[in-house]
Amino acid sequence: MKIGVLSLQGGVIEHLSHLRNLGVDCIEVKEAKDLNEINGIILPGGESTTIGLLLKERKMLHPLKERILKGLPVWGTCAGMILLAKEIENDFRKHLEVMNIKVKRNAYGSQLDSFICHTKIEKVTDKEIPLIFIRAPYIVEAGNDVDVIFEIDGKIVAAREKNMLATSFHPELSNSLEFHRYFLNMVG
């Protein structure tokens, strides 16, 4: 199994570090041809507009979308969630548009409004894990085929639809490997 981390901008190193700590073969995905080498991909947190523009500039948007639609397991964290969403509230921009969710960008406010909470997410682990929210989005609407994994105060912050996983928070910034294990189980 080889996992790719989209390496155009954002929390790339942290995801690679977690994957290596789990003994997983992983690569940085910087070009469309890299997509042929992987069994799953992580879209890291960062700046969704910048990552979206770079995907287009490097002619990676359509090949990546095609692979996801054909079943490539994908996990989007924070900005990655926005990239996956079919709709972004109050925003005309579109990116991959593959996951049947509508998201609200920067839903928890500015950098100063960032926070950490500790909780158990039964669908992922029986351990309490830290959830780190930094200018995080959340899901305001999810299609019937979307499995809501976790909500905070009625706001969806983790969800899965078939081969696609999206989290508002940044598991890669904590010491917890639980979400990375969950994703690896999706990949098989």
CA distance 174 to 171: 6
What's the pLDDT score for residue 115?
85
In this prediction the pTM is: 0.95
Lowest-confidence pick of 9-18, 85-94, 119-128, 148-157:
85-94
Q: Percent of the chain at pLDDT above 70?
A: 97
Please state which CATH class domain 2-187 belongs to: alpha beta
**Taking 70 as the threshold, does the pLDDT of residue 104 lie above it?**
yes
CA distance 96 to 35: 15
Q: Kindly give, in sequence order, each residue whose CB lies less than 8 Å from that of residue 24, ignoring residues fewer than 6 positions away.
A: 1, 2, 3, 184
Mean pLDDT (the chain, rounded)? 94
What's the pLDDT score for residue 27?
98
Q: Give the residue numbers annotated as catalytic, written as ranges.
A: 78, 170, 172
Q: In the structure encoding, which two tokens stand for residue 133, read together?
A: 């929210």
CA distance 50 to 53: 5
**Taking 80 as the threshold, does the pLDDT of residue 107 lie above it?**
no
**Taking 70 as the threshold, does the pLDDT of residue 112 lie above it?**
no
**Taking 90 as the threshold, does the pLDDT of residue 131 lie above it?**
yes
